[in-house]
Structure 1
Amino acid sequence: WGYEKLHKHFEKRAIDEMKHAEKLIGRILFLEGTPIVSKLGRMSIGADASKQLASDHALELGAIKAYNDAIKLAGEVSDFATREILEHILQDEDTHIDRIEELQDQIGHMTLPLFLTTQIG
């Protein structure tokens, strides 16, 4: 649709998430486990940028909770290397949610059509 700036936001976050998956899969393999990548969560596609950001926000909140739970568990079993990996990923997730909220605030202040004009090229 020509919203290059918005596209870059979504693309960067998608690349970050792929890197997270690589780190987690690598750690699972190192621990001699079998990563299960065939059970994907339900895909969420928003009807417009505002709805997509709202959906992404909810997913990021869920990820943050899951990472916090996993960090706690890793600490309880003294797996400090895994905990460190999870803590780095959690920092990225915090950055993601901050950026999503920033974009949502911009939409709230200027309306979606005007916001989209700022995302061209």
Structure 2
Amino acid sequence: MQGSTKIIDLLNRQLTMELSSMDQYLAHSKLYEDWGISRLYHLLEHEYDEELGHARKIIERIIFLEGKADTASRDPIQVGGDVKQMLTFDLAAENAVAESLREIIGVCEEEQDYVTRDMLMELLDDTETDHIFWLEQALGLIDLVGIQNYIQSQMKASEG
């Protein structure tokens, strides 16, 4: 089914954002793993997998619309130097993803591509209720209990 070139281009832009977020989560998860902050490591592994799932859905839709999925392009990522900075950078990336999704959903309405719109609404829901929510919650906890207490709460409990 030949889709709108405008929507295919916007989906490729969204794909770039999802893949870039995935790269940033990977970099941050590996830092958390190296620092021994295992709960954050596992949370970001989960976020990486979810971004990969978002990318797959977008790729499948682009192909269905007879477009060519651009899986090579990336936006610059921001790798933080400490836990709070990393969480802040991840939240900024997710907010940008959500804003872009809202824009594309509007274009899908204009172009009457309701299937793409519905798929993107699912991604937006996941972005807002999972990704953004837990990042805001983590940053709120840092403000509430302090960075050292937050980091300690995210470390694996010692065995024995």
- Report the TM-score, using the length of structure 1 for normalisation: 0.96
User: How far apart are 1:92 and its partner, in Å?
Assistant: 0.7
Query: Where in structure 1 do 4 or more consecutive aligned residues deviate above 2 Å?
Result: none
Q: Could you say which residue in structure 2 is the equivalent of 1:106?
A: 141
Residue type matched to 1:26 in 2?
E
The RMSD of aligned alpha carbons is 0.8
Q: How many residues align?
A: 121
Q: Could you say which residue in structure 2 is the equivalent of 1:119?
A: 154
Any gaps of 5 or more consecutive residues in structure 1? none
Q: Could you say which residue in structure 2 is the equivalent of 1:13?
A: 47
C-alpha distance in structure 1 between counterparts of 2:52 and 2:148, whole Å = 30
C-alpha distance in structure 2 between counterparts of 1:10 and 1:111, whole Å = 21
Matches within 5 A, 1:40-119: 40-95=74-129, 96-119=131-154
- Report the TM-score, using the length of structure 2 for normalisation: 0.73
C-alpha distance in structure 2 between counterparts of 1:44 and 1:14, whole Å = 15
C-alpha distance in structure 2 between counterparts of 1:33 and 1:65, whole Å = 23
C-alpha distance in structure 2 between counterparts of 1:49 and 1:25, whole Å = 32
C-alpha distance in structure 1 between counterparts of 2:120 and 2:102, whole Å = 8
Answer 1 or 2: higher relative contact order, Cα 8 Å, separation at least 6.
1
How far does the alpha carbon of each residue in 1:25-57 deviate from its partner, in whole angstroms, 9 at most, with x for none? 000001000011211011211101100111011
Residue type matched to 1:92 in 2?
D
C-alpha distance in structure 2 between counterparts of 1:85 and 1:111, whole Å = 39
Residue type matched to 1:97 in 2?
I
Any gaps of 5 or more consecutive residues in structure 2? 1-34
Residue type matched to 1:116 in 2?
I
C-alpha distance in structure 2 between counterparts of 1:48 and 1:92, whole Å = 26
